[in-house]
Structure 1
């Protein structure tokens, strides 16, 4: 179960495909991760058939931020707003290369992510029509100006199924920007629910509690969600 089906390195990053070889189409769920070990922990806890496709080695403050913003932590770096450029690269280079390695034509794609990668997952549905399942797990929906952007722009994805979860204590922090995460997450979930299926869940704990388990639960919930039920 833990063995990766395929993996390869590109310029400064690595792609992993977990799943079983099959000619029958299954959903392909993309996730940006820090390491192979993290991807393995998530994959082992996903309960439904899929290809779990992961990318590690990206710069999270650059590639996943929609525009420039001041850093959160003193030892970190400023957000440089590279999501648009990376989205183009991901959609036109990484995605087709990975799908070429599969033995079936992909008809059902999703993108999930944790923290800044969770912000990038919802950014993707505003800038690409390719993803029908979106998961923002403990997503950085506090990001400066993101809520206003999401409320005032139209998604490119057509009625995606959206899974959003947040730790019960994530908003209880001293940083005023990050403390807005609960308000923004609930606001956006309610907004998206007017147009498409939305699952909103609360997990016990703060931002750093059980990230792999939370992502695996989000993926599993997305895979069992049926658009026809909504």
Structure 2
């Protein structure tokens, strides 16, 4: 079952709303790939859940925690509007999603790819709404994010965090992007050291390989982890 609506210029697609009381996963998408990710989850045999896929985002604005110059010559700068988007998400979008569900979810998780994965982590440090985090190829190269993660505590200690990268991502010619694996491994250590159940995996390929499958695998892992905990 699928439903769509719009709030604050953001488009929200709901998938799996017939799963009464099942987990809710919030997925911020770059190009409206939510339905494809949901189908991949089914193909991987993921535990039933409801997916709220949000699109029409200002990717370099809504998904970034603070301003940063472009990392490419003539590239788009990062305007750091994550706090504003998180306020919209928590005060209007998620309540509207809850109103459309048949039952209260067993928990709410947040997921994202690339800058969407960066936002998923950042939002969990800033908000207590999310009990699990699923990321794939998260933009952990983003300047000063590891310093932020080392100095901050999650508003709500997550039950499970999944991190993954393509094994070619650290070979990027851009020196900033090339830090992504080192930073992911450092974040893995920070989370593990804080007693958080965390998984880090390397997948074959670069940043753009098998994106929907990688995202689905991330979501499937946090859902399965919850099953083991239960």
Common fold, TM-score beyond 0.5? yes
Q: Which residue of 2 aligns with 1:44?
A: 39
RMSD: 1.5
Q: How does 1:38-187 map to 2 (within 5 A)?
A: 38-46=33-41, 47-187=46-186
Q: Which residue of 2 aligns with 1:30?
A: 26
Instruction: Give the drift of 1:225.
Output: 0.5
| Gaps in structure 2 of 5+ consecutive residues | none
Q: Describe the SS at the equivalent of 2:176.
A: helix
Q: Are 1:219 and 2:219 matched, yes or no?
A: yes
CA distance in 2, matches of 1:10, 1:108: 22
Q: Deviations over 1:21-77 (max 9, x none)?
A: 14x3100011011334x2121111112200011100010110111111011234531
Distance 1:162 1:9, change over 3 A: same
Instruction: Indicate conservation of the 8 Å contact 2:132/2:158, yes or no.
Output: no
| Gaps in structure 1 of 5+ consecutive residues | none
Distance 1:227 1:126, change over 3 A: farther
Instruction: Indicate conservation of the 8 Å contact 1:197/1:227, yes or no.
Output: no
Question: How many aligned positions are there?
Answer: 224
Q: Describe the SS at the equivalent of 1:25.
A: coil
Distance 1:222 1:115, change over 3 A: same
Instruction: Give the drift of 1:20.
Output: 4.3
TM-score if structure 2 supplies the norm length?
0.93
Q: Which runs of 4+ in 1 moved over 6 A?
A: none
